Amino acid sequence: MNIKKILLSTLLVLGIGSFSGIANAGCGKVVIASQNWASAELMAEVDKAILEKGYGCEVELIPGATMPTFASMDEKGAPDMNPEQWANAVYTPLIKAVDEGRLVIANEAPITGLGEGWWLTPGSIEKHPELKGMTAMEILKHPEWFPSKEDPSKGAFVGCPAGWGCQLANANLYRAFEMEKKGWVLIDPGSAAGLDGTISKAAESGNAWFGYYWNPTSIVGKYNLQAVPWGIDFAGRDNWDNCITKAEQDCADPKPTAWTKSEVNTIITSKFAKQGGKDIVKYIGKRTYPGNVMNGMLVWMADNQAGGSDAAIEFLSKHEGVWTKWVSSKVAKKVKAGL
Amino acid sequence: MEFFTKFPVMERTALMELKKGIDLSFRLFSRKYGDAIENFFDPLLFFLVKLEKLLLNTPWPIIILIIGILGWLGSRSWKLVIGSAIAFMLIGYFGMWNDTMATVAIISVCTTVCIAVGIPIGIVMSKSNRAEKAILPILDMMQTIPSFVYLVPILMLLGIGKVPGLIAVCIYALPPVIRLTNLGIREVDKEALEASEAFGATPFQKLRSVQIPLSLPTIFAGVNQTIMMALAMVVIASMIGVKGLGVPILRAISNQYLALGLMNGLAIVALAIIFDRITQEYGRRIQRHRGQKK
């Protein structure tokens, strides 16, 4: 009896909710993946605002993450769009999906100046001034500068949380550089919160920290993380795609290499490319966030604990000069009116 | 009219300032006391690291033998002993031995810490109604607050690793042992208490020789529940860098590795069943023993 009532009222609420959505249907229903990190959330919310207000779409955001979202788009054709797909993790299947006409790369560089790599906290350089200008290959000779909490005789290298594409890459590079022999342990921080936690803790207390991170992020902006040059060349796509990004058992002999150049794409399903129409595809193609604007937005989000939707409003109202170039003046007016 | 249709919300900027203020003050707190708190837990970390190393370096037949002996001491049932040995062999055969040992290490230390902290608190609660009233809401909160909420302050204070993981697990796993200790002591037969009072027992003697022995089965049910809940938290603990069976599960979740997730999940279930049966049987045995004496 009680459960029935609850179900009934939920249905009612959901029903009312979806009614108001249908009211401004124009380009149809679009599902956008809102991945679980700040820049992706912001981009998803900005796309939602512009597509809804400017193009009359009915946009639904669904949560996502690099691998699951890609798999779902590739296999099921849903969600329709991923604003920030990190291509390295899915390089081979992405090319295959594009060749076979399932997915379309709508924007090859939605954010400028981004990249994955290894970083140091400024505190590391203060404690060990020799680190300034050192390459990763030289730093690897000094595990004693980054003592691990659980076994201080080893150096701690903080890798990627389990399940992220970069976890495999870091684990394979760990083997390729023979870091175990050199006295390092690879720390699995467990989750995004864990990874950020190790950095903010080290940075706040001025301690040394050496590990993987990526740009653009509020963490890099806020704590002024220093990118480490590799001091070694990129050893070719074959080594990277067929070994470094694979699970350990599929990568028997990883060769030492620099990190691959990071590529981020906005990918959409070919169904949405057709259904959405030329204008929308054109908008997505033009939508490029300058790296410094993006970093500024991310620090703003972190400082204000703002979610993607607040940040989208902030972005659309503060950075008009950036986004009005992406759309026609007519659409821009509509978006502005809708704010 | 607007008053009724729109909920009076705190002003946006004020709300933001409030949130920022809370964050900042906690950040200042952790900057100031973080290291001291971390040092306070160092002996625990040392113990955890040593135990994990010990479990990992002990040859597997000895571990299985010890599990078997513990099973026998706890339950006196051959079925259970053989069952647990087979379960551990399967776990090892499917390549999950190291992760399982890491999990066993953290669960054992968690349970020990929870018992050491929980039973005294439970006794205090049973002695004083005021203490009970004060502690119960805290226990309710510990059990219902989503773990992700307290992961953030723990991370800021202690970083990632075994100790923060242990604290996160204990927050969730501690309440049952406190509740059931309290309940067990409160439920002890009034007549038995009166008899001991008539013999002139001091409150401490009463507690030690009457109340605790008579409430042991209930306390044991609490310990059993604590172990179960600690195992349920393994995956969450892995999110802040605790090694063990939770790590492959996290990997499985984000990559849709069905088999990997299933195998490691089943390994946790197997551990849970073994621990549960052994402690439950033990609890039942001490109860039966009491029944015979009567």
Of A198, A226, A250, at which residue does a domain stop? A250
The whole-angstrom separation of Cα A172 and Cα A255 is 9
A155 and A134, same structural domain? yes
Chain B residues in contact with A191 (beta carbon < 8 A): 239-240, 250
DSSP label of A268: E
Domains in chain B, number: 1
Chain B residues in contact with A164 (beta carbon < 8 A): 254
The whole-angstrom separation of Cα A65 and Cα B248 is 17
* Pairs of residues, one from chain A and one from chain B, whose beta carbons lie less than 8 Å apart: 89
Residues of the domain holding B281? 22-293
Residue A198, in any domain of the structure: yes
Interface touch A163/B255, C-beta < 8 Å = yes
Residue B31, in any domain of the structure: yes
Of A224, A250, A276, at which residue does a domain stop? A250
Give the mean model confidence (pLDDT) for residues A317-335. 91
A120 and A92, same structural domain? no
Residue A196 φ then ψ, to 5°: -60, -35
Task: Look at strands A115-120 and A81-86 and give their pairing.
Answer: unpaired
Give the mean model confidence (pLDDT) for residues A15-44. 70
Q: Where are the alpha helices (DSSP H) in chain A?
A: 2-22, 38-49, 55, 66-76, 91-99, 122-127, 136-139, 165-176, 192-204, 218-223, 237-239, 270-276, 278-286, 291-304, 308-318, 320-323, 329-338
A231 touches chain B (CB under 8 A): no
Token digits of residue B105: 């290490």
Residue B17, in any domain of the structure: no
The whole-angstrom separation of Cα A137 and Cα A144 is 15
A161 and A129, same structural domain? yes
B238 touches chain A (CB under 8 A): yes
Token digits of residue B91: 């776990």
Residue A104 φ then ψ, to 5°: -125, 135
Nearest to A163 among B27, B156, B251 (CB): B251
Question: In one letter, which amino acid is B211?
Answer: Q
The mean-pLDDT minimum among A201-210, B113-122, B136-145, B175-184 falls in: A201-210
Token digits of residue A53: 């207000």
The whole-angstrom separation of Cα B210 and Cα B195 is 10
CA atoms within 13 A on the CB side of B197: 7
Closest CA to A168 of A84, A93, A249: A249
Residue A230 φ then ψ, to 5°: -80, -40
Q: What is the pLDDT of residues A77-87, one digit of tens each?
A: 889 999 999 88
Nearest to A163 among B27, B151, B254 (CB): B254
Residue A19, in any domain of the structure: no
The whole-angstrom separation of Cα B182 and Cα B133 is 12
Q: Which residue has the tokens 């149809």?
A: A28
Stronger pLDDT, B16 or A267, i.e. the higher one? A267
B35 touches chain A (CB under 8 A): yes
Nearest to B250 among A151, A190, A200 (CB): A190
For the domain that residue A71 is a member of, what is the CATH number? 3.40.190.10
Residue B15, in any domain of the structure: no
The whole-angstrom separation of Cα A186 and Cα A117 is 15
A208 and A82, same structural domain? no
* Most confident by average pLDDT, A21-35, A136-150, A299-313: A136-150
Give Cα B16 distance to the centre of its chain. 36
Interface touch A191/B159, C-beta < 8 Å = no
pLDDT attached to residue B289: 58
Residues of the domain holding A51? 26-112+262-338
Judge contact between A55 and A7, C-beta under 8 A: no
Give the minimum alpha-carbon distance from B61 to chain A in angstroms, rounded to a whole number.
Answer: 27
Closest CA to A13 of A23, A3, A5: A5
A315 and A289, same structural domain? yes
Of A202, A226, A250, at which residue does a domain stop? A250
For the domain that residue B149 is a member of, what is the CATH number? 1.10.3720.10
Q: What is the pLDDT of residues A46-99, one digit of tens each?
A: 999 999 999 988 999 998 888 889 989 998 888 999 999 988 778 889 999 999
Count of Cβ atoms closer than 10 Å to residue A203 Cβ: 19
For the domain that residue A170 is a member of, what is the CATH number? 3.40.190.100
Task: Look at strands A103-107 and A264-269 and give their pairing.
Answer: antiparallel
Q: What is the pLDDT of residues B55-99, one digit of tens each?
A: 999 999 999 999 999 989 888 888 999 999 999 999 999 999 999
Give the mean model confidence (pLDDT) for residues B185-199. 89
Give the mean model confidence (pLDDT) for residues A214-224. 84
Residue A207, in any domain of the structure: yes
Domains in chain A, number: 2
Residue B280, in any domain of the structure: yes
A74 and A123, same structural domain? no
**Alpha-carbon distance values, A70 to A62, A82, A87, A90 (Å):** 13, 8, 10, 8
Residue A14, in any domain of the structure: no
Q: What is the pLDDT of residues A175-190, one digit of tens each?
A: 999 999 999 999 989 8
Q: Which residue from B minimizes the CA distance to A149?
A: B161
The whole-angstrom separation of Cα A39 and Cα A61 is 15
The whole-angstrom separation of Cα B46 and Cα B54 is 12
A276 and A245, same structural domain? no
A201 touches chain B (CB under 8 A): yes
Residue B8, in any domain of the structure: no
Residue A323, in any domain of the structure: yes
Residue A5, in any domain of the structure: no
A102 and A127, same structural domain? no
Percent of chain A surpassing pLDDT 90? 46
Model's pTM, two decimal places? 0.72
Confidence of residue A24 (pLDDT cuts 50, 70, 90): very low
pLDDT attached to residue B294: 40
pLDDT attached to residue A303: 81
Confidence of residue A6 (pLDDT cuts 50, 70, 90): low
